[in-house]
Amino acid sequence: MIQLFLKGGPVMWPLLIVSMVTLTVVLERLWFIWNEAKLRNLGDVESFFGSLEKKNETDAKAVGVKSTDYVVRVLNYALEHRQVSFSNAFLQASNRELSRFSRGLSVLDTVITLAPLLGLLGTVTGLIHSFGLLGDQDLEAPTVLTGGIAQALIATAFGLVIAVTALIPFNYLNARLEQARRELEDTGTQVELMLREEKK
């Protein structure tokens, strides 16, 4: 594997750096998702809504202050600042939480585009080098050309492998971000409707 890597040419070192960055981001993001799932507490969500249904905001805020659930944290922040504007406070808290879910996605998005292009660059420069060597050899030595092309294509293969490897967690993390966004929007709308009914 190491020999195959070294045969890919100088562009393999940037690809190695890109692959290490990708691995670091993916592992950190998966750890974050796992940790957030562990901190979720549906009991707190039910308690929060139960207190609001009984028109007991004090108990709802008490649940929100202690909760590790990101949905309850957002709703509690919006509830505490509802005298100014519930919608604005909810939007601000939601964006803060969703930014935690979206962290690192731009890096993976860049890697998915960059890795194949780096691989292609390695292939092009490798082919240029191979054809340059062919000019100095007899036409009866085709291994000079075919060996150079094989080495050049290694860079493209590595670039594609990195891009495909990054694409799967990228889509998964995007799905989790959308899931969090939908959940926040649904619960926020529900609380806002409950507060409006309370005013009537």
Q: Where are the alpha helices (DSSP H) in the chain?
A: 2-6, 12-39, 42-53, 57-66, 70-80, 82-102, 105-134, 143-199
Write the pLDDT tens digit of every residue in 93-134.
999 999 999 999 999 999 999 999 998 888 887 777 666 665
Write the pLDDT tens digit of every residue in 125-163.
777 766 666 555 554 555 555 666 766 788 888 999 999
- What is the reported pLDDT for 114? 94
How many Å apart are CA 70 and CA 163, to the nearest integer?
31
What is the three-class DSSP state of 141? Answer: coil
How many Å apart are CA 18 and CA 162, to the nearest integer?
8
Confidence of residue 12 (pLDDT cuts 50, 70, 90): confident
pTM: 0.82
How many Å apart are CA 13 and CA 162, to the nearest integer?
13
How many Å apart are CA 31 and CA 82, to the nearest integer?
34
